[in-house]
Amino acid sequence: MEATLDRRARPLRDLRISVTDRCNFRCSYCMPKERFGRDFAFLPRSELLSFEEIDRLCRLFVEQGVRKVRLTGGEPLLRRDLERLVRMLAEIDGISDIALTTNGVMLAAKARALAEAGLTRVTVSLDALDDGVFGAMNDVGFTVAGVLAGIEAAEEAGLGPVKINMVVKRAVNDHCLLPMADHFRRGGRIVRFIEYMDVGTTNHWSMQDVVPAAEVLRTIDARWPLEPLQPNYPGEVATRYRYRDGAGEIGVIASVTQPFCGSCTRARLSAEGKLHTCLFAAGGHDLRALLREGASDREIARRIRSIWTTRADRYSETRSALSVGQQKVEMSYIGG
């Protein structure tokens, strides 16, 4: 079936599924402790979509053109028996790629089972190689060694090359750019440097904290010269570069300074079953209610199609001092 197009002729190709709103990190740019503290009320299990409900919705999204699925959170590996969901999704005709975004600390114990279940790829979030900087950013004291062990386990299980996401924040970890690039050069791993974004409303975002992708590239290019690469596929969010000495590639994701709204093909399904058509959305569309009220596949598919065909989101292109302060869904509910 041909992909469903939105009002800006963007096809529905990618579905990001948050399987839990919980996380074992408290990164300041995503789940700061002052908001997500010990007493924070996370979603009860009954409000999360079941694996069967996720599977059913995925099959309906495939009918609308989805070909790639990414499991996110929160921290998705906190969801019990996640490999069972992966196995279910791998059996859906039409899905060509099942990926996972994780902080990596539980990956060493899970990588083999996930690969055997049908997981295709893994992206690991790692914001510094220095334990002091990394611990301050995750705000719970996790060390780098556990994340690196998870990366190695993923590669040994056949889930490589692993991509590493580094959110770069001014005066916090921007001095870690070269050590990060140096560590992962020549190993086949791809580091993607991400501009700090104003997702949600609790991370106290300021443009002054953003390190522009152009600055990241200048810093790395001055040490190891770079040259641009073509995108792997239409709508790829990372702009690719390779080291001229043949030591691999990096990517930059410049949602703030170089918006790519015009080619966005992503829909996001939150842990409680709301469909969001933008990472910066103020709210979502409740699909769980349809599932649990007995709606037919045809009715749910019609609703999905209606939501996407009326989509006109382009927040990053229209970002302003006024829009930054608007209420937006927190990243922990809909993934990155």
Q: Are the CB atoms for 130 and 179 separated by under 8 Å?
A: yes
- Poorest-pLDDT segment among 229-233, 241-245, 295-299: 229-233
The stretch 254-266 carries a mean pLDDT of: 92
Q: What is the rounded distance in angstroms from the CA atom of residue 263 to the CA atom of residue 10?
A: 6
The stretch 97-114 carries a mean pLDDT of: 97
The stretch 158-163 carries a mean pLDDT of: 94
Q: Are the CB atoms for 43 and 21 separated by under 8 Å?
A: yes
What's the pLDDT score for residue 32? Answer: 86
Instruction: Give the model confidence (pLDDT) of 227-236 as tens digits.
Output: 999 998 888 8
Q: Could you give the count of Cα atoms lying within 13 Å of 269 in the half-sphere of its Cβ?
A: 25
> Does residue 201 carry a pLDDT above 80?
no
The class of domain 14-334 in CATH terms is: alpha beta
> Does residue 212 carry a pLDDT above 90?
yes
Instruction: Give the model confidence (pLDDT) of 15-61 as tens digits.
Output: 999 999 999 999 888 888 888 988 899 999 999 999 999 999 999 99
Place of tokens 């966005």: 264
The stretch 245-274 carries a mean pLDDT of: 94
pLDDT > 90 fraction of the chain, expressed in percent and rounded: 79
